[in-house]
Structure 1
Amino acid sequence: MAEKGQLDSAAMDFIWNIVEIHSQLEAIHKSWAELLGITEPQWLILMAIDALDEGRGVSGIAVANKLRIHPAFVTNQTKRLEKMELLVRETSLEDARFLQISLTEKARGEIMRLSNKREALNSTMFGGLDEESLNYLNKRLTSIAKSSRLASQKLSIGIL
């Protein structure tokens, strides 16, 4: 019984640490966005496109899935970012019903301009971890994220 209480306590500590990290990351993303004159959600969309694009553009649905947001919101915001010349939306060569979204050179330049600050930020945030430790932590967090999605689904359908 004591082990169950310790696990629950450790789980709550973990959850509160994640809440704190999430809060700090929101503040960081807001700061990056302000430096570019855009909103925090727009910054996250640019970062998702940058992370997902392998040279052919990325679909709005892939961006929405990465950010766990509604595709219509991505469509609305990418139209605004396109007007600001931070991204390009082009019809997919594979399926004309879909758009492929890519960062413009202007956006890449702005992101690159922030690279020294981003490196300093990462060094501050992860300075106590070497690459191997950070990779290990990422693998564990990926596993927890997958399990939490399953738990959330089970809770929503009344299994838990």
Structure 2
Amino acid sequence: MDYGRHEPPAGKKSARGSDAVSATRKEGARLRSTGNLDIIRRFTWEISSINMYLEELRQFWARTLGISGPQWLILMAISDLDKDDGVPVNVVSKLLHVDPSFVTTQSKLLEKKGLLRRRPSPTDARVVRLSLVEKTQKHIASLNEQYKTIREFVFQEFDENELTEFTAKLATLKGRLEKACVRISLDF
């Protein structure tokens, strides 16, 4: 079953004729090659492809600071979560779905580069709170216009309600995938 492009039967001309618009030949070939997959497999491949493009964008922005993509994600998580008193390492690790030791190690490297600050929590010295230094905040702000342009281009097909609904469905899928991973890990 074809869930992508619909090709006319052999020997018949498409009703759309030569006016049919295709993003690129590469996109057309990709759709033909994935069109015969069942919808769930195709969905997972589309999500994988989206992740690859997001990673490419992260790598580009990370290079502007001379850091890795995962380090960029740590900075973005802190930027999004910090409410002026820093963000605990475990909160960042939960958002990124990585071990807290990874965030600890990477945040120490980012601190050495002068991109973030690590401070013990005033209420519990065992908890380290992360915050961006002013230089990093300014750098992220300088990329804001480029980010806004890309965001508007990528999400132009969605109004706010549609995007909210779609994001909620993705969050539900994420939760179910997390539970599926736990189930499978118990079987092995």
TM score, norm. by length of structure 2: 0.77
What's 2:46 paired with? 17
Structure 1 residues 7-156: aligned runs within 5 Å: 9-156=38-185
Return the offset for 1:158.
Answer: 2.0
Q: Structure 1: which 4+ aligned runs deviate by more than 4 Å?
A: none
SS for the counterpart of 1:89 is strand
Structure 2 runs not aligned, ≥5 long = 1-36
SS for the counterpart of 1:136 is helix
The alignment-based identity, stated in percent, is: 36
Q: Which has the higher helix share?
A: 1
Return the offset for 1:117.
Answer: 0.5
| 1:93-119 CA-partner distances (Å, limit 9, x unpaired) | 110111111111111100000001100
- In 2, the alpha carbon distance for the partners of 1:34 and 1:54 equals 26
Give the alignment's Cα RMSD to 1 decimal: 1.4
- In 1, the alpha carbon distance for the partners of 2:129 and 2:88 equals 5
Return the offset for 1:85.
Answer: 1.6
SS for the counterpart of 1:102 is strand
Return the offset for 1:128.
Answer: 1.2
Return the offset for 1:9.
Answer: 2.0
- In 2, the alpha carbon distance for the partners of 1:57 and 1:86 equals 14
The farther-off stretch of 150-159 and 60-69 is 150-159
Return the offset for 1:25.
Answer: 0.5
SS for the counterpart of 2:38 is helix
- In 2, the alpha carbon distance for the partners of 1:18 and 1:9 equals 14
Return the offset for 1:41.
Answer: 1.0
- In 1, the alpha carbon distance for the partners of 2:162 and 2:133 equals 34
- In 2, the alpha carbon distance for the partners of 1:124 and 1:34 equals 22
Partner letter of residue 82 of structure 1?
Answer: E
- In 2, the alpha carbon distance for the partners of 1:27 and 1:62 equals 25
- Aligned residues between the structures: 152
TM score, norm. by length of structure 1: 0.90
Partner letter of residue 160 of structure 2?
Answer: E
Partner letter of residue 131 of structure 2?
Answer: S
Partner letter of residue 45 of structure 1?
Answer: I
Larger radius of gyration: 2
- In 2, the alpha carbon distance for the partners of 1:28 and 1:127 equals 18
- In 1, the alpha carbon distance for the partners of 2:134 and 2:183 equals 44
